[in-house]
């Protein structure tokens, strides 16, 4: 019996995180503890990731999280106009991509305390994917290898696909809204997720990414129980 087909979506999301950790195990990075230059208030998160994050916390930790977000909620923050899979579909259709404003100067993540993430073990993929080959504070930006950028897009597409009936938004918006009594999230703050229309893998990375794509595909097979 293939027990993988009986995994919940939260289980699958955890395994996707583990797979990414294994993929990144041999990548060189200067990131270290208390290196928080990339920890801005502009991180986006899917509804499934929000569910995983909140379900990993105790009632006391959830209360502390609520207090932090309410106290440090960023008034200026990145609010996405589309998801990565919507972006891929629009590119396929030859449509114009809307401009999106995103400035790290808007401030740090409200979950950051003393340059440490208060939910590190349950952090969303947008945070896990942050890495650099040189210090961001010295250069003013991260240096991410093209191979890692391609992998990041693949994992983002897979995570959204897993939550294709859900939605995405800024981390602060998501965690203050979710879980909410109203079943439909505000359209001015959240965007609907989509299934993968096409994988965004450039020709030079297709051979390298083939094993990753195969492993991700096994995690995206829907539960076949009657």
| Phi, psi (rounded to 5 degrees) for 172 | -65, -40
Q: Taking residues 58-71, what's their average pLDDT?
A: 92
Contacts of 69 (CB under 8 A, 6+ apart): 110, 111, 172, 175, 176
Predicted confidence (pLDDT) at residue 214 exceeds the cutoff of 80: yes
Query: Is the CB of residue 100 less than 8 Å from the CB of residue 30?
Result: no
Cis upstream peptide for 179 (omega within 30°): yes
**What's the pLDDT at 224?**
44
Beta strands in 96-189 (DSSP E): 112-113, 116-117, 167-170
In this structure, the dihedral spanned by the alpha carbons of residues 179, 85, 16 and 133, taken in order and rounded to 10 degrees, is -110
pLDDT digits (tens, 9 = 90+) for 164-181: 999 999 999 999 887 666
Residue 108 is given by DSSP the state B
Please name the residues in contact with 84: beta carbons below 8 A apart, sequence gap of 6 or more: 153, 156, 157, 160, 200
How many residues does the structure list for the chain? 226
12 close to 219: Cβ distance less than 8 angstroms: yes
Q: Which of 85, 53, 89 is nearest to 153 (CA)?
A: 85
Q: What is the pLDDT of residue 225?
A: 41
CB-CB contact of 6 with 223 (8 Å): yes
> What's the whole-number mean pLDDT along residues 112-129?
92
pLDDT tens, 6-48?
679 999 999 999 999 999 888 777 677 878 888 899 999 999 9
Pick the range with the lowest mean pLDDT from 21-25, 140-144, 175-179, 205-209: 140-144
């Amino acid at each position: 019996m293939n027990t993988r087909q009986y995994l919940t979506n939260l289980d699958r999301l955890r395994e996707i995180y583990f797979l990414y950790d294994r993929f990144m195990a041999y990548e060189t990075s200067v990131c270290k503890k208390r290196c928080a230059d990339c920890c801005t208030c502009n991180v986006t998160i899917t509804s499934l990731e929000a569910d995983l994050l909140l379900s990993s916390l105790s009632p006391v930790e959830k209360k502390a999280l609520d207090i932090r977000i309410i106290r440090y909620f960023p008034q200026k923050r990145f609010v996405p106009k589309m998801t990565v899979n919507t972006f891929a579909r629009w590119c396929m259709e030859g449509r114009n991509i809307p401009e999106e404003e995103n400035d790290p100067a808007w401030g740090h993540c409200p979950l950051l305390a003393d340059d440490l993430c208060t939910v590190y073990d349950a952090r969303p993929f947008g945070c896990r994917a942050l890495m650099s080959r040189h210090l961001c504070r010295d250069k003013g930006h991260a240096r991410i290898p093209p191979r890692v950028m391609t992998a990041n897009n693949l994992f983002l597409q897979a995570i959204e696909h897993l939550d294709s009936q859900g939605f995405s938004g800024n981390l602060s918006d998501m965690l203050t809204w979710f879980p909410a009594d109203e079943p439909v999230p505000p359209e001015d703050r959240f965007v609907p997720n989509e299934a993968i229309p096409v994988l965004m893998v450039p020709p030079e990375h297709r051979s390298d990414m083939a094993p990753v794509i195969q492993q991700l595909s096994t995690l995206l097979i829907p539960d076949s129980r009657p």
